[in-house]
Structure 1
Amino acid sequence: MKTINRMPVIDCDVHNQFRSGKDLVPYLDEPWRSHAAKFGIPGAGLPYSSPIGNKRKDADPPNGGPVGSDPLYMLEHYVEPFNVEYALLCSDSVIGASGFADADYTAAICRAYNDYLIAEWLPQSPKYKGYMCIGTQDPQQAAREIDRIGPHPGIVAVSVTGGSQMPYGQRFFHPIYETCERHGLPLVIHPGSEGAGIFNAPTAVGYVSNYLQWHTCLSQTFMAHLVSFVCEGVFEKYPNFKVVLCEGGVAWLPPLLWRLDKNYKALRSSVPWLKRLPSEYVRDHCFITTQPIEEPANLKHLAAMFEMFDAENMLLFSSDYPHWDFDDPTKILRWLPEDKQRKIFSENARKLFQL
């Protein structure tokens, strides 16, 4: 097989999914097994439909299964040709499970998915590593699941969706972060169900009318969670805890941090637990993935934006394979010096995920 990329890649957002919801049935306990066997895996129900679908048309497996459901074809079609050293798997199938109202059913689905991932995906290649899934409705159950699965050598992070009923820095969620820190696992926040199920509306002013607006406004979710993490003192309380903001854009970060730093100087009495500027916590604890990177017509504008935050040390390459907005690692960011490319395409992720 011909390799078309000379630079090693650690892809921090590769989407796998089931052939069908029945794939999880063997991994579920009763009564959830019977429920899933009869009715399938429940989802939050995103209220928007993409007019172009959500996949690359050339990524359909030859066996006729859904895109992203065949681990061997994914190796053949993407991982091997593009010199992907590690493909970090983020489930398409259960990413929105926390939008389902039944916290116990959600926890069961996440347990089953994690066992399925370890049994049926990770053994297919040493290049596959996994993000385990948890439900956020019940942080105590989520913490127990991290304790159960976190020690597995193929699990490199804990994934949650951006949709939520409250910002993620709030104390309700802290048992999750304490357990992540204890196992050395970053928390990966990925979009996909904002505005669905029991989650809040996808923008600060309510529901938008179509997928274009929803997709464009996803950055609002990441801004709110990031400010919450900092201002609620999460990074003071858990000094070794790391967060990855995945698939929410990049260019919004510097002006948000300018505003937060400026406001902190006048309003710091409301957050007396903070000992440093907010931007310093973000630089030391947070990472952001490249896809979907904002690429203006004049790349000098993007280069200037990169200079406004520690881009070479905070960015992680992601392709979003096999989705419609896939970023080809042979094409994006090739205007950067090679030493910075290597950090973004592999070395930052290697260090963060201890690969």
Structure 2
Amino acid sequence: MNDSPVLIDTDVHNQIGSLLPYLPKAWHERYQTVKVPYGAQYYSSVGTNRKDAVPDKGGVPGSDPQFLISDHMDRYGIDYAILTGSGVLGLSLDPDPDYGNVLAAACNDRMTDTWLNVSPRFRGSIFVNASDPTEAAAEIRRHASNPNMVQVLMASAARMPYGQRFYHPIYDAANECGLPVAIHPGTEGKGISGAPTPSGYPTRYMEWHNILPINYMTHVNSLVCEGVFEKFPKLKFVAIEGGISWLPHLMWRMDKNYKALRESTPWLKRFPSEYIKDHIKLTTQPVEEPNNPEYLLQILHMIEAEKTVMFSSDYPHWDNDNPKMAFPRMPKEMKQRILAGTAAELYGLHTRPARKDDTANDLADQIARKSKQSPEHAWGEDE
């Protein structure tokens, strides 16, 4: 019997809860006053979360571990959820790095106590304050021995592109500990990060949300051109919730310019696109949805999605993706790799987690069978 994971969700937003019990007393008053700096200065008419994801016992969506399991993981047969928190990534963008450091430590300790100890189906992210790379590296090493912590997580908003040497202590620690580094959007334009676009601030939320991929292009371009993957050859970098379709043209442009300008990056031994395919991972939500689904499949082939793309739902946010409806029909191997195979390798999740019963496993098998039987099923396979 194959006991490999069937479905791994690489972006699930859990509410970590109050950090007050985990903060040194000297920071209590400040935390009670300002909490965690977060979010762009834009109003969304649809809010942040789905209205139907409120736990049975009350509270905000993503705040109840057991409800999250039943409402989301059991519903779709998800073996593992990679937890990415909610409303905390702004800790990297406070002008006071010491405050950001204690917030990161508190987030990680509370994540461990209130989520990772609840279910073997949860895996956590180590939050770090990217504005203080030395302390961020120490925080990575503090949690690296916990097998339930499977990646380092930073805000995609930053003071400077993530390939620059200022951040290398973070990559050194992650490389040493065998952990991928991930970034997540939501704080662009907040705190010390500067404007969310090269031309300044958009007017409203829709404009801001539409243009987030340009920040991901900036970081991927910087990581490759600054030689991060030559210096840290085992490092993997995960671009969460940044889209997919921008990657082909970025790779082509970088390769074209490398042919003429390689003298400016003498540390690069290969074409930029080769580093990207070997070291960069993208998550699917919010996946592009062209009128002709074949166009998306072409893009997936262009970027070798079998090794670069991982499924994510973004649960419980308003634009989260249903794993049964997120993609067009595709080859069986590509589907398996996107659903679970690449994430299983990246995060070391090679077997399904232990459970009290096999209900979710049975559901996952049903989904897999249905994908072969139903021609209209969005996760169908090419024959």
Which deviations, in whole Å up to 9, do the C-alpha atoms of 1:127-147 show, x marking residues without a partner?
000011001111001000001
Deviation beyond 2 Å, 4+ runs, structure 1: 33-36
Question: Do the aligned partners of 1:168 and 1:228 also contact (CA within 8 Å) in 2?
Answer: yes
Aligned counterparts, 1:196-215, within 5 A: 196-215=190-209
Query: 1:72 & 1:28 partners in 2: Cα distance?
Result: 26
Query: 1:231 & 1:328 partners in 2: Cα distance?
Result: 36
Query: 1:251 & 1:67 partners in 2: Cα distance?
Result: 29
| One-letter amino acid matched to 2:14 | N
| One-letter amino acid matched to 1:233 | G
Deviation at 1:95, TM superposition (A): 1.6
SS at the partner of 2:307?
helix
Does residue 225 (structure 1) correspond to residue 219 (structure 2)? The answer is yes
| One-letter amino acid matched to 2:120 | P
Question: Do the aligned partners of 1:10 and 1:87 also contact (CA within 8 Å) in 2?
Answer: yes
Query: 1:244 & 1:146 partners in 2: Cα distance?
Result: 16
Given the superposition, is the C-alpha separation of residues 281 and 26 from structure 1 closer, same or farther in structure 2, using an over 3 Å criterion? same
Does residue 108 (structure 1) correspond to residue 102 (structure 2)? The answer is yes
Question: Do the aligned partners of 2:282 and 2:308 also contact (CA within 8 Å) in 1?
Answer: yes
Query: 1:233 & 1:334 partners in 2: Cα distance?
Result: 35
| One-letter amino acid matched to 2:346 | L
Aligned counterparts, 1:4-19, within 5 A: 8-19=6-17
| One-letter amino acid matched to 1:199 | S
Matched residue count:
345
Question: Do the aligned partners of 2:38 and 2:87 also contact (CA within 8 Å) in 1?
Answer: no
Corresponding residue of 1:141: 135
Question: Do the aligned partners of 1:85 and 1:127 also contact (CA within 8 Å) in 2?
Answer: yes
Deviation at 1:337, TM superposition (A): 2.1
Aligned counterparts, 1:226-241, within 5 A: 226-241=220-235
| One-letter amino acid matched to 1:11 | D
Corresponding residue of 1:316: 310
Which deviations, in whole Å up to 9, do the C-alpha atoms of 1:18-67 show, x marking residues without a partner?
44xxx21111113113432x325231442112111111111011222111
RMSD after superposition: 1.2
Query: 1:42 & 1:324 partners in 2: Cα distance?
Result: 22
Corresponding residue of 1:60: 54
| One-letter amino acid matched to 2:181 | L
SS at the partner of 2:126?
strand
Please say which of residues 26-35 and 61-70 is displaced more in the overlay. 26-35
Corresponding residue of 1:118: 112
Corresponding residue of 2:284: 290
Deviation at 1:151, TM superposition (A): 1.6
Question: Do the aligned partners of 1:56 and 1:322 also contact (CA within 8 Å) in 2?
Answer: yes
Query: 2:296 & 2:65 partners in 1: Cα distance?
Result: 35
SS at the partner of 1:121?
helix
| One-letter amino acid matched to 1:119 | D
SS at the partner of 1:32?
helix
Which deviations, in whole Å up to 9, do the C-alpha atoms of 1:158-207 show, x marking residues without a partner?
00011011000000000000000111100011101000111121111110
Choose which of 324, 336, 343 in structure 1 pairs with 2:337. Answer: 343
Query: 2:29 & 2:206 partners in 1: Cα distance?
Result: 38
| One-letter amino acid matched to 2:92 | S
SS at the partner of 1:124?
coil
| One-letter amino acid matched to 1:269 | E
Corresponding residue of 1:25: 20
Query: 1:304 & 1:87 partners in 2: Cα distance?
Result: 28
Query: 1:256 & 1:334 partners in 2: Cα distance?
Result: 23
Which deviations, in whole Å up to 9, do the C-alpha atoms of 1:229-285 show, x marking residues without a partner?
000000000000000011010001001110000001000111010010000000111
Identity of aligned residues (%): 45
Query: 1:136 & 1:156 partners in 2: Cα distance?
Result: 18
Choose which of 106, 111, 121 in structure 2 pairs with 1:127. Answer: 121
Aligned counterparts, 1:324-339, within 5 A: 324-339=318-333
SS at the partner of 2:253?
helix
Which deviations, in whole Å up to 9, do the C-alpha atoms of 1:78-97 show, x marking residues without a partner?
11121110000001131221
SS at the partner of 1:241?
coil
Structure 1: where are the runs of 5+ without partners?
1-6
Question: Do the aligned partners of 1:247 and 1:292 also contact (CA within 8 Å) in 2?
Answer: yes
Does residue 173 (structure 1) correspond to residue 167 (structure 2)? The answer is yes
Question: Do the aligned partners of 1:45 and 1:197 also contact (CA within 8 Å) in 2?
Answer: no
Question: Do the aligned partners of 1:334 and 1:341 also contact (CA within 8 Å) in 2?
Answer: no
| One-letter amino acid matched to 2:6 | P
Corresponding residue of 1:3: none
Question: Do the aligned partners of 1:292 and 1:327 also contact (CA within 8 Å) in 2?
Answer: yes
Structure 2: where are the runs of 5+ without partners?
350-383
Please say which of residues 270-279 and 304-313 is displaced more in the overlay. 304-313
Query: 2:279 & 2:20 partners in 1: Cα distance?
Result: 37
Q: TM-score, normalised by structure 2?
A: 0.88
